[in-house]
Amino acid sequence: MTLSVVIGDPHAPESTALLQASHALMLSLFDPESCHFLSIDALCVPEITFYEGRINGVTRGCCAIARKDGYGEIKSMFVDPTCRGAGLADAMLEAIFVLAREENIPMLKLETGTLLTAAHKVYQRHGFTFCGPFGDYAEHPDSLFMEKPLP
């Protein structure tokens, strides 16, 4: 099995399907006002780099980094449920870490849902710790916030 991560296009059919599956999952687990995912068009701006995670050349995951004032925010992290456990989330996070270090982004942050315990474990394995709300986020019972300083 070959894993790869490339800069992608949210409008590519495979990426769009993954994003739609991610959005549907979030809306099935949380109230709409608790869902902070970006639209596909919102992922297509210069401040955001979108990645496709591939297994044997087939797009099976996606993620993005949004450049903010003083930090980068991880957005749209999703792996096809049939491919979880293959290391794709780890590979996509590593691609984000490389870009963030190249661009001297000192801190990565993210918002995630309270019910997404598998995601929490992935982030914690990569050195993220829980923190308070940041940016435009407010405390919410469905949200958890995490951060990781980059050396």
pLDDT of residue 66: 98
Confidence of residue 151 (pLDDT cuts 50, 70, 90): confident
Contact 63, 93 (CB under 8 A): yes
Check residue 135 and report its DSSP letter: T
DSSP codes of every residue in 28-67: HHS-GGG--PPPTGGGSSTTEEEEEEEETTEEEEEEEEEE
State how far the Cα of 87 lies from the Cα of 85, in Å rounded to an integer.
6
Q: What is the pTM of this model?
A: 0.95
pLDDT digit string, tens, across residues 71-123 = 999 999 999 999 999 999 999 999 999 999 999 999 999 999 999 999 999 99
Residue type (1 letter), 117: T
Cα 79 to Cα 14, 19, 49, 91, 105, distances in angstroms: 12, 10, 17, 11, 25
State how far the Cα of 69 lies from the Cα of 59, in Å rounded to an integer.
30
Query: Which residues, 6 or more positions from 97, have their beta carbon under 8 angstroms from its beta carbon?
Result: 108, 126, 150
pLDDT digit string, tens, across residues 2-48 = 999 999 999 999 999 999 999 999 999 998 888 999 999 999 999 99
Average pLDDT over residues 111-138: 96
pLDDT of residue 34: 87
Contact 123, 110 (CB under 8 A): yes
Per-domain boundaries in the chain: 3-149
Nearest to 74 by CA among 46, 48, 52, 98: 48
Q: Is the dihedral of CA 31, 32, 33, 36 positive or negative?
A: positive
Q: Candidates 3.30.310.80, 1.10.357.10, 1.25.40.10, 3.40.630.30; correct CATH number of 3-149?
A: 3.40.630.30
